[in-house]
Chain A
């Protein structure tokens, strides 16, 4: 499948990643994307019609028993939080712009 690298694609990636690029950065990223896709396009030369898609390189995942363990002490759990209020971690609003 060919992916068209154009301004629309770069803008979509910006919005998905929640970043805003300058015009200059946009053209650099566009060039990078083209190079990356060109590099991976080598895979297109292989005939994979008979090959099952690989979901994961490791075959057998592990499970664990449903036995509880002590959680972290609260102070430790909150150590990396930038803003705390009454034990809650403070995050941005979630409605509107």
Chain B
């Protein structure tokens, strides 16, 4: 058994900001023509003076407080130097832990199902420009096309300690963090590229490898899984794992080497003379503390208490803020709360995932879902019918009543009709009936035959009981 250590650096855009971090250009850069969302500050033109966005400060403090970090008493900015086409001024404005300077928030933790992941620090930093590779790949392109629309957009870099040991934990960490950020209202994780991560992975007997720029929680799990098996294979073959930076190729689902890290890169951090420190006053922190929204862990507890659902279901709902909000809207119209939770988690989500949809893209609103549950409860439809209706409600926006009228699918509850059909099925399958007498599992086959004949309109439990009784009498 190899010991595996995984640490993450999560970069999250503060998508709720209206402007960039140090200039008044709109922070909403998605879909705009290249280089149409820029000014002298975010283009890095000489003499342009950056001025810090006060809402970004508030957001950073909110995240620090939510993760239980120690908040620095002043915000300092440093220049992190590197030469790369995506950073025209040859430095990124960032934060650093050194003499007289530290990150906005230090320490803290994120609680997962069965362990706590410690946070090392939270940095405020600006995003660089977007690089487009004419061949589609940085590996084969002979030049880079640059769009500075994203340059200067506000980000937080959230760095963990290497406390994770499985790819699944890394995915859960990102999902939990995303839920926290969404509950705080600072980041909409569903926007493409809003949350990206670098993963540091090492296995026993090898050096640490950094995998850069992974775009989603699912891909973080895949990239780390790939990297662990690659490293374990290398170690077991006696090849060793050298310290390097790799790139996650999300198309080919592999990591490829970027450059060999011989030593730590020398970024020559120094205080940004354009940005004097900003004091964080106790009253500012008190203001933010008193206006903090409900966070995922609190919401899970409330869901269990208020709606009587179990911890697992409460967690699944709250890990996706959109889903949890939707759940609460359905409960306004229908009061069997555990039934709502189970329908959403077991069926509704499945159809969304089938087409890779977000809950906001679903055409079935809370009222329609409540109506479906009510029709199920009063026996108008069966669970089978409900499961048939749900995808059409989600994809086509049809109401359950409309679907019932259009398909004539209602629960078959006339017992004389049902008994006729059961008798028919039993008569048609004498061999199966014999077997069913000896083995009750075989009854399910007969139930299936009845369901077929009734066009799925019978209630499976009722049919099962009916067949059971009849067989016993044969």
Task: List residues of chain A with CB under 8 Å of any chain B CB.
Answer: 12, 16, 18, 52-56, 58-69, 71-72, 74, 77-78, 80, 85-96
Contact = CB atoms under 8 A, between A and B. Distances in A.
B205 to A, nearest CB: 29
A53 B144 CA distance: 41
Given A71-B38, A77-B38, A66 B85 contact: no
24 contacts: A16-B266, A18-B83, A52-B100, A55-B76, A55-B277, A56-B76, A60-B276, A60-B279, A61-B276, A63-B52, A63-B53, A64-B53, A64-B54, A71-B25, A71-B36, A77-B35, A80-B45, A85-B145, A87-B35, A88-B132, A88-B146, A90-B146, A92-B85, A95-B258
Per DSSP, are chain B's interface residues mostly helix, strand or loop, or mixed? loop
A61 B278 contact: yes
Interface in B96-141: 99-101, 131-132, 138-139, 141
Nearest to B42: A71
Contacts of B56: 66
Contact of B100 (A16, A53, A63): A53
Tell me which of B18, B273, B276 has the highest count of chain A C-beta atoms within 10 A of its own C-beta: B276
Contacts of A74: 33, 35-36
B55 A94 contact: no
B276 A88 contact: no
Contacts of B273: 56
Contacts of A69: 19, 24-25, 39
B55 A66 contact: yes
A56 B40 contact: no
B136 to A, nearest CB: 13
Nearest to A69: B24
Given A53-B100, A55-B76, A63-B57, A90 B139 contact: no
Given A56-B271, A68-B24, A93 B144 contact: yes
A95 to B, nearest CB: 5
A67 B276 contact: no
Contacts of A54: 100
Contacts of B84: 94
A77 B54 contact: no
A64 B271 contact: no
Interface residues of B, number: 55
Contacts of A78: 35
Contact of A72 (B19, B39, B141, B143): B39
Interface of A is mostly: loop
A12 B17 CA distance: 40
* 3 A-B pairs with least C-beta separation: A91-B85, A69-B24, A55-B100
A56 B277 CA distance: 7
Given A56-B271, A77-B35, A71 B26 contact: yes
B101 A55 contact: yes
Most central of B33, B144, B268 by chain A CB within 10 Å? B144
Contacts of A55: 76, 99-101, 271, 277
A91 B146 contact: yes
Given A66-B55, A89-B146, 20 more contacts: A18-B83, A56-B276, A60-B278, A60-B279, A64-B51, A64-B52, A64-B54, A65-B54, A66-B53, A66-B56, A68-B26, A69-B25, A86-B145, A87-B36, A90-B144, A91-B143, A92-B85, A92-B143, A92-B144, A93-B138
A77 B145 contact: no
B39 A71 contact: yes
A71 B454 CA distance: 65
A66 B132 CA distance: 29
B383 interface: no
A66 B54 contact: yes
Nearest to B274: A61
Contacts of A66: 17-19, 53-56
B100 to A, nearest CB: 4
A62 B81 CA distance: 24
Interface in B128-167: 131-132, 138-139, 141-148
Nearest to A58: B276
A62 B51 contact: yes
Contacts of A12: 266
Given A52-B100, A55-B101, A68-B24, A88 B145 contact: yes
Nearest to B76: A55
A68 B86 CA distance: 23
A94 B36 contact: no
B275 interface: yes
Contact of B277 (A18, A59, A67): A59
